């Protein structure tokens, strides 16, 4: 970010502040809401009240997003029951997302996510790279449960629907400047143009930069710093009363240092001289550096600010045609590409004692060349270059027939993507684990000197590509057979075709080969909703929904046969009963849902690590049942005050879990593969905290001539979270709570009849240390965790002018 950009934005802010009118004016009338305001959502493709939508949905409008301090979709997760969004290790751009325990943290571009992210109706196919800056946010909706009968792409866990602001059609200017802890600063400029005939436009630019929370123990430089630039152009063209055309171009560029992942544990057998898997002094040093507690200084050598880069370009054209009086046709066309580069993903580097580590990577010479003493060697290092592009076309028809007796919403959808990734690795293993023959007396390769040493291994040949196509027809039909009762039947038929290419040496780089395979899957998924309105204040619904996630190929397979044997699709059936109510003259809004989900052929990432590197195989592990309860409440005890509370409960019962059993202490498999390990207490529920809740208290004072003050304090609680069903001892996130606060003054008179908003905020005020994500590398001998952000604070200044 250039220094003159900082000076320009600060100058604009100074001009705004210096020109703020101090002339006393008549105190504005008190317009604070005396009832809970209606929330409009588009969860069912039409604008309707949240309380009239028979779907479990959480909605965050512009004011809520401002009070929470949202710039990315994940910022609403702690305030949404059932939703988990975590940034993965060694990344500031990749999400691991789960809704109601339907989750996936797999980053491979050939694996479909369980939760769909949509921006203005456009499906974003990859959770990798999905942590991009979103400008001009209007609303975020989180829909829980299968959503295939309403959305173009099938999503079995739920959908996160991001809606941005459209052009206003009149001149408007908005400048936001923020500064906070760790030299965090951001600048967000938005300009609305006047309508030129029947064309209006909105242009927005957002830049941000922040320092890191950690420090390299070797060179003292920052770890975790980053910067981002985002640009958005929205154009609205209304050629006739019946037709509207919206074009949106959005771009997001991010650079960051991701060397913030801390080693939490090194397996004792690798660092114990009495163990046959002892790896020598290198593992002793690594074990001494590992800690289950948060450290401020990490054993990282990579501190470049552009260690990882992520670039996104997206185009979308939406045409809306009021075809007939009661019918609307919509076309959504999009193209999007994403490029990501990571020059060095590391989890810690440690010095070599001469004669205790040997080279099998070719970096220092022939096999078993001693590595010079004092050399800093990463325990694991990977490079990654990823590319993904997608196109989609969707047609929707929404309308009513027979004097509104029948409501319908039907659509057809086409999606295509190409993606490829290269991911070479190097890593350290005890010699007797990586090359057992040289440690086995009597074997021709036996060398006593190698016992108790370690080796550096390289796996440079790993690349894959995938070409995916998906087509679907979907829809819902609603009838009202009697007063206050709506019955809705939904359907979806999906076909998925996948061709996948894998280039790998499978542990023997000279024998690198390329394999190609393809397959297809299809499924019909029905749904049913019964929605009954007891009164104007209370309604309830019963929803039965099915969903499916297509099968695919294991691009991280360790053998050719594993790659050529695709995993099957998974299926889900969700039963849900919900109540929505506005009580006590709309002073209390109480929405609740209970659900029962049956999950079959669940796709589970089976992590493996050894001399072939770190990899995952997707297996159809079996069946589980998820039962849960969700509650969302808003209460206005008196004028100006608002209390917001949420609670989510998730209970997972594994009925069948066929996989390879592993010992979480040693990291090695136990017994044979493909056994049912459900019911023996060895399994954890991944990405599914059993209890999750939030409480926010707000008070808005009566307006004064100088503005209007709003105070807010909120607290969130998240129960413990595991990131792997069996590896859960050394990387699990413990239960934790966070307390945040915000003070905002709005409607401050400013020059040119504009308005100024000033806010001061703090997050994690108690400075709690909590694990945000973790990976246990099993047989590689160590586990790593990422820590959440410590206490932070900031000041926001926003100037708005509307003509």
The confidence band for 144, taking pLDDT boundaries of 50, 70 and 90, is very high
pLDDT at 125: 85
SS3 of residue 319 by DSSP: strand
Phi-psi bin for 787: left (phi > 0), alpha (psi -120 to 50), beta?
beta
Asked whether residue 717 is assigned to any structural domain, the reply reads yes
The confidence band for 148, taking pLDDT boundaries of 50, 70 and 90, is confident
Residue 13 has pLDDT above 80, yes or no: no
Asked whether residue 368 is assigned to any structural domain, the reply reads no
Q: What is the mean pLDDT of residues 722-731?
A: 87
Who's near 583: CB < 8 A, 6+ residues apart?
Answer: 537, 538, 589, 590
Total domain count, the chain: 1
Residue 736 has pLDDT above 90, yes or no: yes
Residue 241 has pLDDT above 70, yes or no: yes
SS3 of residue 249 by DSSP: strand
pLDDT at 45: 76
| Secondary element (H or E) of residue 217 | none
Determine the structural domain holding residue 596 and report its residue range: 3-259+300-346+379-424+460-802
Contacts of 239-243 with C-beta under 8 Å, sequence gap 24+, read: 239/198, 241/322, 242/321, 242/322, 242/323, 243/319, 243/320, 243/321, 243/322
Asked whether residue 359 is assigned to any structural domain, the reply reads no
Tokens 């990432």 correspond to what residue? 605
Asked whether residue 718 is assigned to any structural domain, the reply reads yes
Residue 768 has pLDDT above 70, yes or no: yes
pLDDT at 132: 65
Asked whether residue 432 is assigned to any structural domain, the reply reads no
Q: What is the mean pLDDT of residues 450-457?
A: 93
pLDDT at 612: 58
pLDDT at 681: 63
The confidence band for 3, taking pLDDT boundaries of 50, 70 and 90, is very low
Residue of 203, 139, 198, 197 lying closest to 172 (CA atoms): 203
pLDDT at 742: 97
pTM higher than 0.75: yes
Asked whether residue 290 is assigned to any structural domain, the reply reads no
**Which of the residue ranges 321-330, 696-705, 735-744 would you say has the lowest mean pLDDT?**
321-330
Contact 626, 100 (CB under 8 A): yes
N-to-C CA span, the chain = 31
Query: What's the whole-number average pLDDT of the chain?
Result: 89
pLDDT tens for 247-262 read 999 999 999 988 899 9
Residue of 175, 180, 178, 243 lying closest to 751 (CA atoms): 175
Contact 57, 141 (CB under 8 A): yes
Residue 349 has pLDDT above 60, yes or no: yes
Residue of 16, 1, 200 lying closest to 749 (CA atoms): 16
Q: What is the mean pLDDT of residues 724-753?
A: 92
User: What are the angstrom distances between the C-alpha of 435 and each of 336, 340, 451, 610, 644?
Assistant: 45, 34, 10, 11, 59
Look up residue 732 and give its two tokens. Answer: 């699990």
pLDDT tens for 485-525 read 999 999 999 999 999 999 887 655 556 788 999 999 999 99
pLDDT tens for 555-609 read 887 778 888 889 999 999 999 999 999 999 999 999 999 999 999 998 887 766 6
The confidence band for 382, taking pLDDT boundaries of 50, 70 and 90, is confident
Q: What percent of the chain is predicted at pLDDT more than 70?
A: 94
The domain that contains 508 carries what CATH number? Answer: 2.40.170.20
pLDDT at 75: 85
Asked whether residue 282 is assigned to any structural domain, the reply reads no
pLDDT tens for 76-107 read 999 999 999 888 887 777 788 899 999 877 77
CA angle 65, 17, 14 (to 5 degrees): 100
What is the sign, positive or negative, of the torsion defined by CA atoms of 31, 32, 33, 37? positive
pLDDT at 19: 44
Q: DSSP class of residue 24?
A: -
Residue 25 has pLDDT above 80, yes or no: no
Q: Measured between alpha carbons, how far is 182 from 233 in angstroms, rounded to an integer?
A: 31
Asked whether residue 360 is assigned to any structural domain, the reply reads no
Residue 127 has pLDDT above 60, yes or no: yes
Query: How many other CB atoms are there within 10 angstroms of residue 716's CB atom?
Result: 19
């Amino acid at each position: 970010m250039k220094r003159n950009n900082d000076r320009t934005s600060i100058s604009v802010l100074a001009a705004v502040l210096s020109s703020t009118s101090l002339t006393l004016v008549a105190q504005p009338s008190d317009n604070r809401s005396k009832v809970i305001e209606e929330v409009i959502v588009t969860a069912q493709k039409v604008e309707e009240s949240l309380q009239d939508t028979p779907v479990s949905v959480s909605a965050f409008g512009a004011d809520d997003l401002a009070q929470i301090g949202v710039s990315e979709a994940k910022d609403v997760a702690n305030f949404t029951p059932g939703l988990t969004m975590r940034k993965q290790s060694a990344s500031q751009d990749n999400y691991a997302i789960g809704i109601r325990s339907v989750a996936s943290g797999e980053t491979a571009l050939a694996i479909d996510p369980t939760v769909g992210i949509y921006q203005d109706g456009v499906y974003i196919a990859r959770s990798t790279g999905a942590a991009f800056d979103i400008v001009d946010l209007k609303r975020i909706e989180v829909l829980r449960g299968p959503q295939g009968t309403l959305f173009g792409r099938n999503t079995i866990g739920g959908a996160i629907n991001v809606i941005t602001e459209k052009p206003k059609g009149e001149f408007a200017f908005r400048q936001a400047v923020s500064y906070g802890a760790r030299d965090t600063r951001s600048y967000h400029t938005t300009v609305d143009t006047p309508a030129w005939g029947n064309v209006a436009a909105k242009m927005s630019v957002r830049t941000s930069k922040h320092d890191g929370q950690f420090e390299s123990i070797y060179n003292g430089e920052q770890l975790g710093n980053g910067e981002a630039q985002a640009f958005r152009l929205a154009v609205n063209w209304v050629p006739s009363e019946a037709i509207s055309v919206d074009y949106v171009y959005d771009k997001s560029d991010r650079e960051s240092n991701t060397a913030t992942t801390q080693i939490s544990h090194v397996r004792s057998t690798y660092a114990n001289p009495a163990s046959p898997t002892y790896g020598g002094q290198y593992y002793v040093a690594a074990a001494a550096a590992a800690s289950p507690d948060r450290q401020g200084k990490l054993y990282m050598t990579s501190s470049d600010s552009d260690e990882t880069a992520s670039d996104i370009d997206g185009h979308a054209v939406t045409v809306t045609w009021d075809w007939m009086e009661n019918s609307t046709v919509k076309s959504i066309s999009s193209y999007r590409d994403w490029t990501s580069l990571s020059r060095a993903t590391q989890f810690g580097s440690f010095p070599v004692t001469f004669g205790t580590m040997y080279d099998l990577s070719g970096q220092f010479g022939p096999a078993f060349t001693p590595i010079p003493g004092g050399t800093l060697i990463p325990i694991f290092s990977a490079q990654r270059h990823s590319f993904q592009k997608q196109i989609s076309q969707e047609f929707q028809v929404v309308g009513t027939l027979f004097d509104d007796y029948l409501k319908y919403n039907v659509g057809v959808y086409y999606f295509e993507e190409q993606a490829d990734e290269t991911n070479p690795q190097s890593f350290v293993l005890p010699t007797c684990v990586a090359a057992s023959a040289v440690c086995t007396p009597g074997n021709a390769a036996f060398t006593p000197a190698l016992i108790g040493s370690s080796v550096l291994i390289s796996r440079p040949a790993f690349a894959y590509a995938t070409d995916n196509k998906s087509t679907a027809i979907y829809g819902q039909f609603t009838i009202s057979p009697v007063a206050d009762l709506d019955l809705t039947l939904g359907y979806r038929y999906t076909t998925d075709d996948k061709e996948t290419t894998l280039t790998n040496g499978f542990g023997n780089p000279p024998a690198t080969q390329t394999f190609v395979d393809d397959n297809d899957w299809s499924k019909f998924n029905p749904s049913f909703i019964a929605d009954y309105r007891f009164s104007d204040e209370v309604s309830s619904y019963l929803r039965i929904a099915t969903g499916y996630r297509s099968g695919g190929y294991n691009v991280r397979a360790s053998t050719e046969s594993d790659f050529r044997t695709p995993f099957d699709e998974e299926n889900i059936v969700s039963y849900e009963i919900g109540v929505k109510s506005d009580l006590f003259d709309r002073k209390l809004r109480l929405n609740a849902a209970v659900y029962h989900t049956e999950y079959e052929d669940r796709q589970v990432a089976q992590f493996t690590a050894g001399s072939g590197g770190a990899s995952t195989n997707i297996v159809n592990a079996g069946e589980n049942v998820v039962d849960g309860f969700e509650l969302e409440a808003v209460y206005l005890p008196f004028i100006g005050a608002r209390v917001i509370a949420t609670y989510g409960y998730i209970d997972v019962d594994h009925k069948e879990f066929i996989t390879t059993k592993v010992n979480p202490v040693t990291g090695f498999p136990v017994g044979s593969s493909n056994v049912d390990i459900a019911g023996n207490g060895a399994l954890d529920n991944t990405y599914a905290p059993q209890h999750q809740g939030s409480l926010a208290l707000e008070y808005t004072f009566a307006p004064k001539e100088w503005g209007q003050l709003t105070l807010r304090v909120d607290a969130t609680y998240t129960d413990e979270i595991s990131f792997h069903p069996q590896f859960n001892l050394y990387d699990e996130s413990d239960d934790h709570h966070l307390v945040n606060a915000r003070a905002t003054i709005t409607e401050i008179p400013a020059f040119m009849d504009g308005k100024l908003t000033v806010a001061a905020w703090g997050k994690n005020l108690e400075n709690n240390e909590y694990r945000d994500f973790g990976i246990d590398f099993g047989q590689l001998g160590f586990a790593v965790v990422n820590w959440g952000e410590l206490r932070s604070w900031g000041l926001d200044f926003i100037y708005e002018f509307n003509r």
